[in-house]
Amino acid sequence: MIRTLQARLSFLQISLTSLSQSFFRNHGSSNMDVAGTGIVCNHLAVSANTNTHNGIRTMCSAADLSTKKCVPCNTKDLRPMTEEAANQLMAQVSGWDLVNDGDTLKLHRSWKVKTFTKGLEFFQEVANVAEAEGHHPDLHLVGWNNVKIDIWTHAVGGLTENDFILAAKINGLDVQHLLSKKISRPAQSSA
């Protein structure tokens, strides 16, 4: 009798061990630093196995950049991000382009405004955001109605999350009334 019980117990132990091993083989948690931006997401990956009942998927989405705050550019250890890291953030700043200007990565966007003075109004709206964030874009008003903005972190000579935060906040401005209905074309560079 006892022998039978011992045999059953050891059988149960073996099956529990193999079950837990297969569970953790199919599951795991990973820390993922999103493209060096310091946004760390914890993912409890669950297997595709549909009969997993305890699997919980927590997908941490990078916080919406427009709700974030820029850090002072003289923050210690602030470094320019790689082009790969920048490319991974571009989806969050629609309308902006990633440009490499003589080895300095920058964000660039252009708009066509209705009039020269509406271009200045546009700049004022952008300036208000920049001052609030303590992070500033380069503003160009060319050919009287073409607004072009470049953003990068001068202190590090490249892109940091600050630049994406500023671009996202500029995207959130209510400036439609200042813009021309015509699509803005890249103005001929003044040689």
Ligand X SMILES: C[C@H](O)[C@H](O)[C@H]1CNC2=NC(N)=NC(=O)C2=N1
Residues forming the site for ligand X (CB under 6 A): 72-74, 134-136, 153-155
Decide whether 28 or 134 has the Cβ nearer to ligand X.
134
Decide whether 110 or 145 has the Cβ nearer to ligand X.
110
Q: How far is the CB of 33 from ligand X (least distance, A)?
A: 23
Decide whether 71 or 179 has the Cβ nearer to ligand X.
71
Decide whether 103 or 174 has the Cβ nearer to ligand X.
103
Under 8 Å between Cβ of 158 and 164: no
Q: How far is the CB of 155 from ligand X (least distance, A)?
A: 3
Q: How far is the CB of 59 from ligand X (least distance, A)?
A: 32
Q: How far is the CB of 158 from ligand X (least distance, A)?
A: 10
Q: How far is the CB of 72 from ligand X (least distance, A)?
A: 4
CA distance 161 to 38: 9
Neighbour-count burial of 72, counting CB atoms closer than 10 A to its CB (0-12 exposed, 13-18 middle, 19+ buried): exposed
Decide whether 8 or 154 has the Cβ nearer to ligand X.
154
